[in-house]
Copies of this chain bind each other. A is one copy, B any other.
Amino acid sequence: MAEEAAVRAQAETVRRLKQDKADADEIAKEVAKLLEMKAQLGTDEGKHKFVLKTPKGTRDFGPKEMAIRERAFKAIISCFKRHGAEVIDTPVFELKETLTGKYGEDSKLIYDLKDQGGELLSLRYDLTVPFARYLAMNKITNIKRYHIAKVYRRDNPAMTRGRYREFYQCDFDIAGQFDPMIPDAECLKIVHEILSDLQLGDFVIKVNDRRILDGMFAVCGVPDSKFRTICSSVDKLDKVPWEEVRSEMVGEKGLSPEAADRIGEYVQLHGGLDLIEQLLQDPKLSQNKVAKEGLGDMKLLFEYLTLFGITGKISFDLSLARGLDYYTGVIFEAVLLQQDNEHLQEPASVGSVAGGGRYDGLVGMFDPKGRKVPCVGVSIGIERIFSILEQRLEASEEKIRTTETQVLVASAQKKLLEERLKLISELWDAGIKAEMLYKKNPKLLNQLQYCEETGIPLVAIVGEQELKDGVVKLRIVATREEVNVRRESLVEEIRIRTSQC
């Protein structure tokens, strides 16, 4: 019995071992399968981790968004052309050293390309530095140009408010040695025209001058070496309250509390010609050479803006600083005012939609002999404008067409693909915008539905009887009216009928 028990125990052990082995094989097989699947996926992370998305802070523009975008671009470009601008384009990346030392504290937001051998490159951060590089490189001392292209900033995106890492800038700049404030005034006129044209609601264009800021810093007791960094602090005033900005100045940047308080008094001021006059009388500011220059030019600017009839939307605002290092004179920024009548609030700013200023030293930074080319320019912040236009369109339920197709070439019976191909080819060759369904034998109903969905106004219907008679049946989608048109008159008929709508 003991033997039997021993045999049975042994058998049980063998069975268990076999089972273990089988289990192990099974597991090994499973692992191999998984490894194979992983290898097929071609990445180290496996399919479950494959993310189908655009990079952080970027987005696709589908046909509907593109239709809105092109509408906005059209308004902007036609304004730039109205002011006689030429157009240029530059590469999306520049030598890294071209961008170095131009953006102050914001330089950390520049996208660098990987060093794959060869030159070190960075994506452009704005269109202004490439423009200055272009002028110096080609020894151009005189140009009025616009440039519409994408720029890149590794910022924290806030996409619902139109803040992206890849975004369009629409820049208009005037380079050259001219009489004071005439080009500067034109830049403000352009902002005014574009914002009015796009009907984005009420707006204000804040204006200041780096020379007034510098003079103000000097008379407030800011050491020269701290001008730029204190300027960066002031720049935050549109987002954070004065108390926070003050504590940054004193705590982080080592400014004396007294100097900060003196700045605090100035940066509350905003107004028009009256404020300029008042500051020209200011016992401290009027003693400062650069401030006086800046105030004198600001007065001249307001005179020109009066001739343009746009001072109603302009505010001389001492809190406006602008972040970038390269500005040397007039600076400005346009903000939309919230229109929230229901809540009866004070008009609040919903963010900047355009900005710019004078940068007389930037081109000289690129010129081997330091030759300066004075420049002034404006940049339209189109992404925020897109966001507003998109939201408005969504709310309005207006149906926006995404194609311009004038006519669908359709057939009423089967086996007419060849006839459709022949007819559509004739229409294309005559410059008519035409589509057809890519099916051998589509149903007439489906073809008509396609027109309803996409807004195609006309249908050219090929049928056996019509072919015999040498005519095409032209259907007007909106009215469901149908007329027979002689084939040789079809192009003309389509042109007439679509020029009306």
Contacts and interface: CB of A to CB of B under 8 A. Distances in A.
Interface of A: 42-43, 45, 47, 50-56, 58-63, 66, 69-70, 81-95, 97, 100-101, 111-116, 118-119, 121, 123, 133-134, 136-138, 143-145, 150, 152, 154, 166, 174, 176, 178-179, 182-183, 185, 189, 193, 304, 307-309, 366, 368, 402-405, 417-418, 421-422, 425, 428-429, 431-435, 438-440
Given A113-B112, A368-B47, A431-B82, A133 B52 contact: yes
B189 A428 contact: yes
B166 A308 contact: no
Contacts of A95: 51, 53-55
Copies of this chain in its oligomeric complex: 2
29 contacts: A52-B368, A53-B95, A53-B137, A55-B94, A56-B119, A59-B91, A60-B88, A60-B89, A60-B90, A63-B87, A66-B87, A66-B89, A70-B87, A81-B404, A92-B150, A92-B166, A93-B166, A111-B113, A113-B113, A114-B114, A176-B438, A178-B438, A182-B417, A182-B421, A183-B438, A189-B428, A193-B429, A307-B422, A307-B425
Contacts of A150: 92
B63 A88 contact: yes
Given A428-B82, A438-B183, A42 B307 contact: no
Contacts of A438: 174, 176, 178-179, 182-183
A146 to B, nearest CB: 10
A123 B66 CA distance: 21
Given A61-B89, A137-B52, A179-B438, A307 B421 contact: yes
Contacts of A440: 179, 182
Q: Sort A-B residue pairs by CB-CB distance and give the 4 closest, nearest first.
A: A42-B101, A178-B438, A63-B86, A84-B435
B178 A43 contact: no
A56 B189 CA distance: 39
A425 B189 contact: yes
A62 B145 CA distance: 10
Contacts of A402: 86-87
A150 B123 CA distance: 13
A89 B58 CA distance: 11
B66 A88 contact: yes
Contacts of A87: 63, 66, 70, 402
A78 to B, nearest CB: 8
Nearest to A41: B101
A462 to B, nearest CB: 13
